[in-house]
Structure 1
């Protein structure tokens, strides 16, 4: 299963919390510690987010990554699109020899089903902002342990 979206979302959540705390920027090493990952992975995750203006990165000793705009103006759909690009939600199995109703139309049917599901995912993510997600995390943190 592809984890780029969950990792990119975590990076964005770290940056949103840092912005709330008045931090100017977080280095790829700081973000990597939070993700328990390699800083080079974090830098790869930051490239599309930076290209789309969701993140601003500065180089140098005091450099790092910060949100490109306020968290309440960044949707989870934008983060998703940056993380996965044009990769479909599900991969279709290769076309098979057309010998029956299933093999004749399975690929076409599955492509349409995938497109429909992806639109539903994007609609759901498009209704949530990064700021709302931070609020949801805080709500989860405030719940008593069960």
Structure 2
């Protein structure tokens, strides 16, 4: 099963970006969990690295929650990816076996290099895309869906 931390973190930040545009920028973990169809404790765990890296900030008090720490135009998808995934590699290599031939002796190193290249490609693709770009694309998809129905 593929890891869903990045897509979940991206959704949370997109929810917060929409909330900021609507004038109600603070959403509680319960509100975010309901929108994600997830448990609030899972959402709070997901928020920890986003807060630590300054993408979102916590608002204390009875009407507290989280909000974007920077405008959506200033948050790249590469930042979101790094916060959500951390140092976990994109893919994991099969466990090493006895080194009895060319393949078993060097596959791990080869696979590590492939994974690093793929990760750099992902980060490169995400480096120039922002949350604001994501909202524009979601709105375009919504307009197209409405026109087709």
Number of aligned residues: 146
Q: Does 1:123 align with 2:124?
A: yes
Q: Which runs of 5+ in 2 are unaligned?
A: none
- Structure 1 residues 11-52: Cα deviation after superposition (integer angstroms, max 9, x where no partner): 000000001111130011111110011111111111000000
State the Cα RMSD in Å. 1.0
**Rounded Cα–Cα distance in structure 2 between residues aligned with 1:58 and 1:74:** 19
Aligned to 2:51: 50
SS of structure 2 residue aligned to 1:31: helix
Q: Which runs of 5+ in 1 are unaligned?
A: none
In the TM superposition, residue 145 of structure 1 has moved relative to its aligned partner by 3.4
In the TM superposition, 1:1-146 aligns within 5 A as 1-143=2-144, 144-145=147-148
Q: Which runs of 4+ in 1 moved over 3 A?
A: none
Does 100-109 or 57-66 show the bigger shift?
A: 57-66
TM-score by length of 1: 0.97
SS of structure 2 residue aligned to 1:37: coil
SS of structure 1 residue aligned to 2:93: coil
**Rounded Cα–Cα distance in structure 2 between residues aligned with 1:40 and 1:61:** 18
SS of structure 2 residue aligned to 1:57: strand
**Rounded Cα–Cα distance in structure 2 between residues aligned with 1:52 and 1:110:** 29
TM-score by length of 2: 0.95
SS of structure 2 residue aligned to 1:56: strand
